[in-house]
Structure 1
């Protein structure tokens, strides 16, 4: 057949039924009803058009059951022999489309949830700054833990160091009555209630925490730290522990401090707080063989907490006010206000010398 004849037949076939193509793979022939063609114009170098669900629906057409030339079929539909290219795609089933949509939606960043069950995963997303959990302990009741806690809270405020306040002393909630936004915590040996203390650690992901402990919870607090390896977790999230152990000067109080050193020595930084409101002279403690031995075996900080005048202390406690607000309270006269001012100055200087509050 001459070239002229072949060209004429090709021209006729352009408007008629497409020519069968026997060169298509067998797999395409057997599964032709499961295959669709998506016609997509080639994007220009400067602009691209986003693919939408409607465009996919309009441009996807079922092939007939018999074996046809893909190129001819596209041209037959569009009557355009200059299409840039064609793309073969396999349509997804309804189930696959649903899964794909779900995966696409899940990639959107969701806001951080406040659900306590998701607290760890959400905390990992935070840009973490180093924080400290300050535990004010003393084991014995009436050692001055709450008073030291209040002085530490106000020292942090004076240097613009933001802290979360936790009052774990349910029997004497004076911290909660004086300061705003005070959190509660509860230490228990009951496994069902053990997680109630975890709130303290959760708070430390945002800011440092000051915890006022009640009496006789030493074993519970120690177990909470050791059992959960909180010191190791803290290293990962830049959270450290400092225990301010308030000592009255009595032998039993010193022995409790030494026990804490032996149990938590390298896990928690210890501060031996010499409460001068109970004891003016500490030579007998400094010379105790057990205390000297503890100094050799452990590193800890010593701090003298200043004595607060009796009358001014009782007045401030009765009024339920802060040390700072006492400086302008009408019930305190000029000399009393000066005593309060001196105490604040000495207490703040003592905390600053430890270099543990930044």
Structure 2
């Protein structure tokens, strides 16, 4: 079964691109076939760090968005990972209505999963509610509590949005925090998480010993969360 993973959150700076990047690294390390698409209009960090696997999308161009549908419909046991830009829901819904692509996916047995990357702010929680309103039972959901963008998620666990997500079968996972200094070094190295943790393509050390160790420990924790999604069983 092919799967399309729409990794969003609507607001900027919530950690969508970090989640896309570490999900891509997870697929590489677990030998799960995947293809990446980056719709970020400004930074394009998913493309920058995983250019070998990623293509750029223009959300306002329906023909550009068609690329991800065609990839999902022609692949074999493929994970299609889409890093959505902030405020992308209007364009995405317009494309889906124009093409009827969700029905096309259902007929072809392609699973669509909407990821909502959540910080601990009220607006992020409200945006989760709007996502559930938009798609209801038409897709699957993954809610990611990003500890790199928040330390207390009590409001989420006590919320109506959380209850609705659970009723719709959402899986709730956590994205542990990697220290800001280590994440900054990874970003400045322009390298994948694997290269940052183990050395570049020529064996050069991009990070110091302890920062490499921090990245390795962080990846192990993130992978334990992603294992809960059961991708290798599909």
Which of 65, 73, 95 pairs up with 1:197? Answer: 65
Q: Structure 2, unaligned stretches of length 5 or more?
A: 200-204
Alignment coverage as a number of residue pairs? 224
2:177/2:218 contact within 8 Å kept? yes
2:115/2:143 contact within 8 Å kept? yes
**Whole-Å separation in 2 of the counterparts to 1:283 and 1:302:** 14
| Corresponding residue for residue 259 of structure 1 | 130
Confirm or deny that 1:291 pairs with 2:161: yes
Deviations 1:286-328 (A, max 9, x none): 112x325524652211111111111110001011111111123
How far did 1:273 drift? 0.6
Q: Structure 1 residues 311, 131: CA separation in 2 closer, same or farther (over 3 Å shift)? A: same
Q: Structure 1, unaligned stretches of length 5 or more?
A: 1-129
Q: Which has the larger radius of gyration?
A: 1
2:20/2:81 contact within 8 Å kept? yes
Which secondary structure state, in structure 2, belongs to the residue aligned with residue 171 of structure 1? coil
1:247/1:274 contact within 8 Å kept? yes
Which secondary structure state, in structure 2, belongs to the residue aligned with residue 245 of structure 1? strand
| Corresponding residue for residue 224 of structure 2 | 349
| Corresponding residue for residue 141 of structure 1 | 12
Q: Structure 1 residues 144, 217: CA separation in 2 closer, same or farther (over 3 Å shift)? A: same
| Corresponding residue for residue 315 of structure 1 | 185
Deviations 1:323-352 (A, max 9, x none): 111123324222211111011101111111
* TM-score normalized with structure 2 length: 0.90
| Corresponding residue for residue 118 of structure 2 | 247
Which of 182, 186, 208 pairs up with 2:79? Answer: 208
2:105/2:111 contact within 8 Å kept? yes
**Whole-Å separation in 2 of the counterparts to 1:181 and 1:355:** 22
Q: Structure 1 residues 332, 144: CA separation in 2 closer, same or farther (over 3 Å shift)? A: same
Deviations 1:140-184 (A, max 9, x none): 011110000001001111111111111111211122222214212
Alignment of 1:144-155 (within 5 A): 144-155=15-26
Which of 192, 211, 233 pairs up with 1:336? Answer: 211
Structure 1 residue runs of 4 or more that deviate by more than 4 Å after TM superposition: none
1:165/1:182 contact within 8 Å kept? yes
| Corresponding residue for residue 237 of structure 1 | 108
